[in-house]
A and B are shown apart, each in its own frame.
Chain A
Amino acid sequence: MSDITRRTLLVEAAATSVIAGLFPTGTASPGTASHWEAIPPRELIRQQHFPNLQLTTQHGRKVHLYDDLIKNRKVVINFMFTSCAKACPLVTANLVKVQRILHSRIGRDINMYSITLDPAVDKPEQLRLYAAKHHVGDGWLFLTGKPADIELLRRSLGFVQRNPLRDANKMNHIGVIRFGTEACMRWAACPGLAPADWIATSILSEIDGPAKGRIKGDPG
Chain B
Amino acid sequence: MANQREIENARKNRLEIINAGLKRRDLFKMGLLTSTGYLVNKNGLSAWAFDDNNCGRGACHLGCSPKITPFLDPLPIPPVLPERTLADPGLSPAPQESPNNAINPVNQLPFEGRGQFNGTLRPGTDSFQFFSQYPPQHYFVQRMRANSNFRITSDTNIPAQTIWGFNQGGADPSDVAVTPGPTIVARYQQPIVVRRFNELPPQNQNGGFGVPEVSTHLHNFHAGTESDGGPCRYFFRGQYFDYYDTLQQAGFDSTNPPNGDINESMSTLWYHDHRVDHTAENVYKGLAGFHLFFNQFDTGDEGSGFHLPSFPQFDIPVILTDKLINPSTGLICFDTFENDGLVGDVQLANGKVQPFMEVSQRRYRFRVLDGGPSRFYQLFLTNPNNLSQVIPFWVIANDGNLLPTPVQVTSFRLGVAERYDIIIDFKQIAAQFGASVVRLENRLQQNDGRAPTNNILGAGRGTYCVEFRIGAQAADGSVDPATAPHFYDLPSTSLTDATVKPRISRTFTFDQSDGGWVVNDRFMSCNQIRFTVQRNSIERWVLQNDGGEWQHPIHIHLEEFQILRRGDRRSAATERSRKDVLTLNFDERAELFFRFRDFRGDYPLHCHNTVHEDHAMMLLFQVQDVGDNRTSP
Chain A residues engaging chain B, CB cutoff 8 angstroms = 2-6, 9-10, 12-13, 15-16, 18, 20-25, 30-33, 35-39, 41-49, 51-54, 64, 66-67, 87, 91, 148, 151-152, 155-163, 166, 171-176, 178, 180-181, 183-195, 197-198, 201-202, 205-206, 209-210, 212-215, 218-220
Query: Once the chains bind, are A172 and B277 in contact (CB under 8 Å)?
Result: no
A77 CA to B52 CA, complexed, in Å: 22
- Chain B contributes a number of interface residues (CB within 8 A of A) equal to 86
A5 CA to B206 CA, complexed, in Å: 40
Query: Once the chains bind, are B523 and A4 in contact (CB under 8 Å)?
Result: no
Query: Once the chains bind, are B14 and A64 in contact (CB under 8 Å)?
Result: no
* A7 vs chain B, min Cβ distance (A): 10
Query: Once the chains bind, are A195 and B335 in contact (CB under 8 Å)?
Result: no
* A185 vs chain B, min Cβ distance (A): 5
Q: Which residues of B contact A20 (CB under 8 A)?
A: 57, 328
Q: Which residues of A contact B35 (CB under 8 A)?
A: 64, 67
Query: Once the chains bind, are A215 and B238 in contact (CB under 8 Å)?
Result: yes
Query: Once the chains bind, are B202 and A210 in contact (CB under 8 Å)?
Result: yes
A38 CA to B24 CA, complexed, in Å: 26
Query: Once the chains bind, are A38 and B329 in contact (CB under 8 Å)?
Result: yes
A23 CA to B39 CA, complexed, in Å: 12
Q: Which residues of B contact A220 (CB under 8 A)?
A: 202-204
- Stretch from B43-51, B133-141, B172-180, B219-227 at the A interface: B43-51
Query: Once the chains bind, are B523 and A191 in contact (CB under 8 Å)?
Result: yes
Q: Among the listed B24, B156, B523, which residue makes an inter-chain contact with A193, where contact means beta carbons less than 8 Å apart? A: B523
Return the chain B residue nearest A36 by Cβ: B330
Known: A49-B337, A67-B36, A194-B616. A6 touches B57 (CB 8 A): no
Interface string of B120-156 (1 = CB under 8 A from A): 0000000000000000000000000000000000001
Known: A6-B21, A162-B448. A41 touches B526 (CB 8 A): no
7 smallest A-B Cβ distances: which pairs?
A175-B514, A158-B337, A41-B208, A16-B37, A191-B516, A213-B236, A213-B237
Query: Once the chains bind, are A53 and B40 in contact (CB under 8 Å)?
Result: yes
A185 CA to B335 CA, complexed, in Å: 11
Q: Among the listed B118, B159, B549, which residue makes an inter-chain contact with A36, where contact means beta carbons less than 8 Å apart? A: B159
Q: Among the listed B11, B14, B118, B333, which residue makes an inter-chain contact with A205, where contact means beta carbons less than 8 Å apart? A: B118
Query: Once the chains bind, are A175 and B41 in contact (CB under 8 Å)?
Result: no
* A158 vs chain B, min Cβ distance (A): 3
Query: Once the chains bind, are B615 and A66 in contact (CB under 8 Å)?
Result: no
Q: Which residues of A contact B525 (CB under 8 A)?
A: 194-195, 198
* B162 vs chain A, min Cβ distance (A): 10
A91 CA to B41 CA, complexed, in Å: 30
Query: Once the chains bind, are B337 and A16 in contact (CB under 8 Å)?
Result: no
* A60 vs chain B, min Cβ distance (A): 18
Q: Which residues of B contact A64 (CB under 8 A)?
A: 34-35
Q: Which of B1-53 contact A (CB under 8 A)?
A: 11, 14, 18-19, 21-24, 31, 34-43, 46-48, 50, 52
Q: Which residues of A contact B59 (CB under 8 A)?
A: 48
Return the chain B residue nearest A7 by Cβ: B18
Return the chain B residue nearest A87 by Cβ: B514
Q: Among the listed B67, B328, B338, B527, which residue makes an inter-chain contact with A198, where contact means beta carbons less than 8 Å apart? A: B527
Q: Among the listed A12, A21, A48, A189, which residue makes an inter-chain contact with B339, where contact means beta carbons less than 8 Å apart? A: A189
A155 CA to B164 CA, complexed, in Å: 29
Q: Which of B272-287 contact A (CB under 8 A)?
A: 277-278
The binding surface of chain A is classed by DSSP as mixed
Known: A9-B18, A38-B329, A176-B514. A186 touches B57 (CB 8 A): no
A64 CA to B35 CA, complexed, in Å: 9
- Among B34, B198, B340, B614: residue with most chain A CB under 10 A: B34
Query: Once the chains bind, are A45 and B58 in contact (CB under 8 Å)?
Result: yes
Name 17 interchain pairs, CB-CB below 8 A, sorted by A.
Answer: A48-B60, A52-B41, A151-B50, A185-B203, A185-B208, A185-B209, A186-B203, A189-B277, A190-B616, A194-B524, A197-B527, A198-B525, A198-B527, A202-B277, A205-B119, A210-B212, A213-B238
Q: Among the listed A51, A187, A193, which residue makes an inter-chain contact with B41, where contact means beta carbons less than 8 Å apart? A: A51
- Asked if B528 is an interface residue, CB under 8 A from chain A, the answer is yes
Chain B residues engaging chain A, CB cutoff 8 angstroms = 11, 14, 18-19, 21-24, 31, 34-43, 46-48, 50, 52, 57-60, 66-67, 106-107, 109, 118-119, 156-157, 159, 198, 202-209, 211-213, 236-239, 277-278, 326-330, 333, 335-340, 448, 450, 513-518, 523-528, 549, 614-616
Q: Which residues of B contact A205 (CB under 8 A)?
A: 118-119, 277
* B616 vs chain A, min Cβ distance (A): 5
Return the chain B residue nearest A190 by Cβ: B616
Q: Which residues of A contact B159 (CB under 8 A)?
A: 33, 36
Q: Which residues of A contact B57 (CB under 8 A)?
A: 20-21, 37, 39, 44, 47
Query: Once the chains bind, are B515 and A173 in contact (CB under 8 Å)?
Result: yes
* B116 vs chain A, min Cβ distance (A): 10
Q: Which residues of A contact B42 (CB under 8 A)?
A: 51, 53, 152
Q: Which residues of B contact A41 (CB under 8 A)?
A: 206-208
Q: Which residues of A contact B208 (CB under 8 A)?
A: 41-42, 44-45, 185
Return the chain A residue nearest B51 by Cβ: A155
Query: Once the chains bind, are B202 and A218 in contact (CB under 8 Å)?
Result: yes
Q: Which residues of A contact B23 (CB under 8 A)?
A: 2-4
* A157 vs chain B, min Cβ distance (A): 6
Known: A12-B37, A188-B277, A219-B205. A193 touches B47 (CB 8 A): no
- Among B42, B66, B159, B211: residue with most chain A CB under 10 A: B211
Known: A191-B523, A212-B119, A213-B237. A18 touches B209 (CB 8 A): no
* B46 vs chain A, min Cβ distance (A): 6
A3 CA to B21 CA, complexed, in Å: 8
Q: Which residues of A contact B238 (CB under 8 A)?
A: 213, 215
- Among B34, B41, B60: residue with most chain A CB under 10 A: B41
A175 CA to B283 CA, complexed, in Å: 26
A120 CA to B572 CA, complexed, in Å: 55
* A67 vs chain B, min Cβ distance (A): 6
A151 CA to B42 CA, complexed, in Å: 11
Query: Once the chains bind, are A162 and B38 in contact (CB under 8 Å)?
Result: no
Query: Once the chains bind, are B107 and A214 in contact (CB under 8 Å)?
Result: yes
